Chain A
Amino acid sequence: MSEGVTPSPKGTLGGLPLKTHNLVGGLIMIAIAAVLLAYAIWTPNALVPRILSGAVVLIGIAVAAGVVPVHGPRDFYGGLMLVLLATLALTASAELPGQRGFAFGPGTAPRLFSILLAALGAAVALGGVFAEGAPIEKYKVRGPALVIVSILAFAGMIRPLGLVPATFLAFMISILGSTEMRWIESLVAAALMTLFCVLLFVYLLNLPFQLWPRFY
């Protein structure tokens, strides 16, 4: 993981000019934080997450406007996301009963650790503001997206369609993510893999799978 650790030349970060980069990053932060803020306002008893997510919205605006110079975007956005995750957890556990007497309630520990996480995330983000740090690595979309789509497609197909179509189709979707895909080879490989999985899981291991679509 040594790539991307070299400090970027002044003015560009992750291939984008500094201003655009901050604008995009700031807007993403504003969007996520705003959703969380709405959720926190809608939830009763959620004062702390309201303040936290509100603060992140303001920070996002400041970053997008270019008021805050971000020297280490990788840590800055990473840390802020952890703060937002903590906010989400705080909101979600806001309605749980807390400590009663000596006994912890179900909500005590989640709140304790959420606040700790928010503090740690803020510390990481602060480090990203002040210390010169690494840029964010570029994201490639096509390959990763197709892999995720194929996994989700498998999850969606396995119940209604059965093992054979789900395996075959998931294989074909995920192989599209490769830049060097060849059709015939892929179809053969998909068929072989499906056969192998059916033999292994259904016949050898005797796991209860439905193989084909069920027609009523």
Chain B
Amino acid sequence: MSELLANLWMGFQVAGHPYNILFCLLGALVGTLVGVLPGIGTVATIAMLLPITFGLPPVGALIMLAGIYYGAQYGGSTTSVLVNIPGEATSVITCLDGHQMARQGRAGPALAIAAIGSFFAGCVATVLVAALGAPLTSLALLFGPAEYFSLMCLGLIFAVVLAKGSVIKAVAMVVTGLLLSMVGSDLETGAGRMTFDIAELADGIGFANIAMGLFGFAEIIRNLELPAESRDIVKSKITGLMPTRQDLIDSAGAIARGTVLGSLVGILPGGGAVIASFAAYTFEKKISKDPSRFGRGAIEGVAAPESANNAAAQTSFIPLLTLGIPPNAVMALMVGAMTIHGIVPGPQVMTKQPELFWGMIASMWLGNLMLVVINLPLVGVWVTLLRVPYRLLYPSIIVFCCIGIYSINNSPFDVVIAAIFGVVGFWLVKHDFEPAPLTLGFVLGPLMEENLRRAMLIARGDATVFFTRPISSALLITAIILLIVAALPKMRRRRDEVFVE
């Protein structure tokens, strides 16, 4: 315990350095700014802003990225409340009650409770990350290649179960992602695989390009198909930011429950903030004395999902920092950012670069605090930004993304790849395939293949090794059970219900 406190103290010293506070503030600010724009989710925001962190020292860059992450999430909920267009997937559910509150002239309290809930969830999750970091890291030392492979299988299955729509289509997307990740030079022999003799493909397809194409460009293309929008921005001036005492009492329980739920879901590989917010909302509605209030401006309907998605966003750092496995697309981008700065994510980060590990954890807390501080006064700015018509907004987003992608490697080819994946993403949506499992498959692909090959080599070609080693077999059996349960007709209906709501 005292060790934990000492570590956290060290973290706060790192994060509290004036420069790092500045980076954190800047990150949270820019993240919110981009996150507020309708139609740009967290993944696209981070992919877009990745280049601006290149010039910083590693600790500063990661702190800034973490700030961008929370900012983007919070920005999304601001858009939900004010315009009824979710800025991103995690805040879809916030639209339901948040926008109703705004229409009743209570946009201020809705935003404030979202910020307060997020902050509380952030505090709890920060402690959780710090507390679970060390034990999980020592668990990671017990893991051999077979265990890693099985763990990643489990993570991918989680992603499939948590994606909406057909299970078999989600599995197909995971496999597509795995296959795409194999483009480029083979890790062991250096042989070019599926490169079609294109020199630029020898290094593989960059994850940022895929993410930008699938989540940024595809979304814009899709929005362009919709008829000219009539945006329902809250016209009335936002007065009275602070929630009343009654609001606070009403939402306290919801915030606490949302935090617990979000923290749990966030740790699961393949889980994530989206499902956390849906689950928290459904749960609140179930236990409420008067469920009919939901959808008509119930403050719990804002507090619970917002706390849950923030808690999940934060605890999803745990698998990354301890096991080196990114549990979702955002964390995959974090891996990319870490690699650029020469840090290999995994158990060794904590022992070899403690100031980075703990500095980042402390900055998570600071980042959440910043959000409370900067966002409430800046609501007016966000409203102005939301008034910019989409016809001017989308070309700006496109050129900004183009410059961003180009600047990562100074490569025009990367921009072309992103354009191709924009079309692919558009096509996927048309045929009801989910892009999220694809990205996770793509991210875990190289790690999975490497561990699979190593495990097979160590076991001298005996494929049963995955079932004879206890931890590995437990993980795989869990994965199989999950998959079967999700494919059962009864569960399928339940899943559909959750997503329809």
Size band of the interface chain A makes with B: 35 or more
B429 to chain A, nearest CB (A): 7
Q: Mark B157-195, 1 if CB is under 8 A from A, else 0.
A: 000000000101101100110110010001011010110
Q: How many A-B residue pairs have CB under 8 A?
A: 201
**B395 adjacent to A189 (CB under 8 Å):** yes
Interface size on B, residues (CB 8 A): 65
Assembled-state Cα–Cα distance A116/B456 (Å): 19
**A208 adjacent to B410 (CB under 8 Å):** yes
Q: A151-B419, A155-B413 are in contact. Are A178 and B391 (CB under 8 A)?
A: yes
Within 8 A of A (CB), among B450-486: 452-453, 456-457, 459-461
- Chain-B contact segment, one of A15-23, A50-58, A59-67, A102-110: A102-110
Q: Which of B178, B415, B423 contacts A113 (CB 8 A)?
A: B178
**B406 adjacent to A158 (CB under 8 Å):** yes
A128 to chain B, nearest CB (A): 10
A130 to chain B, nearest CB (A): 14
Q: Which of B51, B169, B191, B403 contacts A167 (CB 8 A)?
A: B403
CB of B357 closer than 8 Å to a CB of A: no
Q: Mark A108-145, 1 if CB is under 8 A from B, else 0.
A: 01100110110011011001000000101101100110
CB of A206 closer than 8 Å to a CB of B: yes
Assembled-state Cα–Cα distance A117/B170 (Å): 11
Within 8 A of B (CB), among A136-178: 136-137, 139-140, 143-144, 147-148, 150-152, 154-156, 158-159, 163, 166-167, 170-172, 174-175, 177-178
B12 to chain A, nearest CB (A): 28
Chain A residue with minimal CB distance to B458?
A: A102
**B429 adjacent to A106 (CB under 8 Å):** no
Assembled-state Cα–Cα distance A36/B182 (Å): 20
Assembled-state Cα–Cα distance A81/B430 (Å): 13
A206 CB contacts on chain B under 8 angstroms: 55
**A74 adjacent to B432 (CB under 8 Å):** yes
CB of A184 closer than 8 Å to a CB of B: no
Q: Mark B272-286, 1 if CB is under 8 A from A, else 0.
A: 000000000000000
CB of B449 closer than 8 Å to a CB of A: yes
CB of B378 closer than 8 Å to a CB of A: no
**B225 adjacent to A143 (CB under 8 Å):** yes
Within 8 A of A (CB), among B430-453: 430-433, 449, 452-453
B28 to chain A, nearest CB (A): 18
Q: Mark B403-436, 1 if CB is under 8 A from A, else 0.
A: 1001100101101101100110011011111000
- Chain-A contact segment, one of B102-110, B216-224, B244-252: B216-224
CB of B399 closer than 8 Å to a CB of A: yes
B419 to chain A, nearest CB (A): 4
Q: A75-B431, A103-B453, A110-B193 are in contact. Are A181 and B391 (CB under 8 A)?
A: yes
CB of A211 closer than 8 Å to a CB of B: no
CB of B131 closer than 8 Å to a CB of A: no
**B168 adjacent to A197 (CB under 8 Å):** no
A102 to chain B, nearest CB (A): 4
**B172 adjacent to A193 (CB under 8 Å):** no
B437 to chain A, nearest CB (A): 12
B247 to chain A, nearest CB (A): 32
Q: A96-B191, A120-B168, A158-B415 are in contact. Are A197 and B400 (CB under 8 A)?
A: yes
Chain A residue with minimal CB distance to B194?
A: A92
Chain B residue with minimal CB distance to A143?
A: B224
**A155 adjacent to B416 (CB under 8 Å):** yes
B225 CB contacts on chain A under 8 angstroms: 140, 143-144
Chain B residue with minimal CB distance to A138?
A: B225
B429 CB contacts on chain A under 8 angstroms: 1
CB of A41 closer than 8 Å to a CB of B: no
Assembled-state Cα–Cα distance A171/B396 (Å): 7
Assembled-state Cα–Cα distance A124/B165 (Å): 12
Q: Mark A60-99, 1 if CB is under 8 A from B, else 0.
A: 0000000000000011011101100110010011001100
A48 to chain B, nearest CB (A): 15
B168 to chain A, nearest CB (A): 6
B430 to chain A, nearest CB (A): 5
A207 CB contacts on chain B under 8 angstroms: 51, 54-55, 407
Q: Mark B37-57, 1 if CB is under 8 A from A, else 0.
A: 000000000000001101100
Candidate in A82, A109, A190 with the most chain B CB atoms within 10 angstroms: A109
Q: Which of A105, A124, A167 contacts B399 (CB 8 A)?
A: A167
**B419 adjacent to A152 (CB under 8 Å):** yes
Candidate in B175, B394, B395, B457 with the most chain A CB atoms within 10 angstroms: B395
**A104 adjacent to B422 (CB under 8 Å):** no
Assembled-state Cα–Cα distance A209/B453 (Å): 42
B419 CB contacts on chain A under 8 angstroms: 148, 151-152, 155
Chain B residue with minimal CB distance to A110?
A: B182
**B433 adjacent to A78 (CB under 8 Å):** yes
Q: A120-B175, A180-B228, A209-B407 are in contact. Are A113 and B182 (CB under 8 A)?
A: yes
Assembled-state Cα–Cα distance A207/B53 (Å): 11
**A101 adjacent to B224 (CB under 8 Å):** no
Assembled-state Cα–Cα distance A207/B188 (Å): 34
**B172 adjacent to A120 (CB under 8 Å):** yes
B166 CB contacts on chain A under 8 angstroms: 124, 127
9 example contacts (A-B, Cβ-Cβ < 8 A) are as follows A103-B456, A106-B189, A106-B191, A123-B168, A144-B225, A151-B422, A155-B402, A155-B406, A170-B398
Binding site for B on A (CB under 8 A): 1, 74-75, 77-79, 81-82, 85-86, 89, 92-93, 96-97, 101-107, 109-110, 113-114, 116-117, 120-121, 123-124, 127, 134, 136-137, 139-140, 143-144, 147-148, 150-152, 154-156, 158-159, 163, 166-167, 170-172, 174-175, 177-181, 185-186, 189-190, 193-194, 197, 200-201, 205-209
Besides A117-B172, A171-B399, 11 more A-B contacts (Cβ < 8 Å) are A1-B429, A75-B169, A75-B432, A102-B457, A109-B453, A150-B398, A155-B406, A158-B412, A170-B402, A201-B403, A207-B55
